[in-house]
Structure 1
């Protein structure tokens, strides 16, 4: 099937700019913003284990690809709110450093920038898959599910992946959902069913706008952010195909660091402290993410489950 990448319209561009004003390099990074959590006690032993470059700078630079609510919501002043912002504030306090946030365009920009050493890590959460673990390590702190956001009443009657044949489906470019829906598009045509028109957008706001404006029949993405957008739509949207595998097995998401980075185990221990003292659970509950909690953080859980 011909790959279709949709250019962002002027309206989408304005929305994206308002939600995801971008800092293009660490010098433009903004301090972590969301934190309405209790002040954490610094763990001196973990601070000492940080890479020297980070200790000398007194900060960790975290990269994101724009608004991914309710985890990451990038404001017009490049400030970050959401569950990941609250968690990063608490994590920085545990490690004794500031966490600053940089927004780049697209997931590929995030992963490339981390690999090149331009950024220390991405708190994410970003989907952990065995193929991504070849070049990155994941410190997973979320379990996610993938569903559809559709107009109210689900007019196309989407119940699962197979019922998406013949429809216009929006996805985030370079994400795991894009790969799954493209595989499904091939399956549709192989079975003699109408093809899926895959519309690939650079971020969540542009993707959801495509459904609200009627350019797409559905947006296929992670359930937590789609739930947020449905709640914000004032009755315009609803979820579909909830409770189905939808092309995924157990789906873990988390922070990303360069492969075999010394930072990996420090982040794991810092997150474990926030799990143990109840901060993680409070943050997840605050942002409506109780159903996405893990019992404990883990490294490269996708590979360990595979």
Structure 2
């Protein structure tokens, strides 16, 4: 375990302890309605200072985007605190929305948001040219790099959200045999937990009962309602849900690899798209001038921040 992971686990313990003072859980659905606490999130996003357009970066954009003055970013529904999708399928709040606003101002275009029906639909749409990118962050893995490029802007960890007191004693990937584990369909955690189910069978234990959902709110609701024993996903959004559960949920398996090495997430663009260089330079500027750090701090994501963006960092 590296020092960053240990430091993050310690800070998360404090966050979980304070969760009992927080608001209620977000609703489910591919385009979930605004939930309790979202007004507060919207107020956070609304107070972002405007940035000046960078002519050099604007000139680097593909001609189609320069002419339309619009860049279309697809999301998979709510992935808080990064992406909190509105019921209209186009509005977005969260850290990614803040970052999109800053990028749009810097590039001199409007970044519009469209919600697709899950990650596979998003990746297919990007490959087909229906969307320019997914700002994400989306997990960066070698198999996804075959058809896409990733401009990574966060580092993540994968853990479990469980009922308070962890009644099923889920402490790591090895302890999931025979348990009902919710995951996001098409996500990296789904692949890892399915492999774990095979390992359980090989060792003579009961396999994991994998439950795949198309979005984060639906997955967490399965745990709250007792249909699943845990939700296996990225630590940052799970911390958000825990903090909104009025003490009903807690994190488990923090500080462990849980089937992953270093995990990077970022924006997804078509393979060899000219947007790759644009995003790297634009994100570098936002990191250098403090805008990125301010956004990450505002959404309690400082421990996930990178010093500089990277291309296809996933292994």
Q: 219, 222, 236: which one pairs with 1:210?
A: 222
Matching of residue 110 in structure 1 with residue 125 in structure 2:
no
- Counterpart of 2:63 in structure 1 is 52
Describe the SS at the equivalent of 1:301. Answer: coil
Q: 259, 267, 270: which one pairs with 1:255?
A: 267
Asked if the contact 1:20/1:67 (under 8 Å) is kept, the reply is no
- Counterpart of 2:284 in structure 1 is 272
Deviation at 1:41, TM superposition (A): 1.5
- Counterpart of 1:225 in structure 2 is 237
- Uncovered stretches (5+) of structure 2, i.e. residues with no partner: 1-26, 35-43
In structure 2, distance between residues paired with 1:35 and 1:115:
32
In structure 1, distance between residues paired with 2:269 and 2:46:
23
Task: Provide, for residues 72-91 of structure 1, a one-character-per-residue CA deviation record: whole Å limited to 9, x for no partner.
Answer: 00122331000000000000
Describe the SS at the equivalent of 1:16. Answer: coil
- Counterpart of 1:43 in structure 2 is 54
The normalised TM-score by structure 1 is 0.89
Equivalent pairs counted in the alignment come to: 280
Superposed counterparts of 1:1-306, under 5 Å:
15-16=28-29, 19=32, 34-78=45-89, 79-302=91-314, 306=315
Describe the SS at the equivalent of 1:19. Answer: coil
Deviation at 1:18, TM superposition (A): 6.0
Asked if the contact 1:69/1:225 (under 8 Å) is kept, the reply is yes
The normalised TM-score by structure 2 is 0.86
- Counterpart of 1:3 in structure 2 is none
In structure 1, distance between residues paired with 2:220 and 2:127:
30
Asked if the contact 1:139/1:298 (under 8 Å) is kept, the reply is yes
Asked if the contact 1:46/1:270 (under 8 Å) is kept, the reply is yes
- Uncovered stretches (5+) of structure 1, i.e. residues with no partner: 1-13, 22-32
In structure 1, distance between residues paired with 2:73 and 2:60:
18
Deviation at 1:17, TM superposition (A): 5.7
Deviation at 1:161, TM superposition (A): 0.4
Asked if the contact 2:30/2:77 (under 8 Å) is kept, the reply is no
Runs of 4+ aligned residues of structure 1 deviating over 4 Å after TM superposition are none
Task: Provide, for residues 130-169 of structure 1, a one-character-per-residue CA deviation record: whole Å limited to 9, x for no partner.
Answer: 1111100000000000000000000011111001111000
Seen in structure 2, the aligned counterparts of structure 1 residues 65 and 154 have a Cα distance that, compared at 3 Å, is same
Deviation at 1:35, TM superposition (A): 4.5
In structure 2, distance between residues paired with 1:35 and 1:85:
10
Describe the SS at the equivalent of 1:297. Answer: strand
In structure 2, distance between residues paired with 1:206 and 1:222:
15
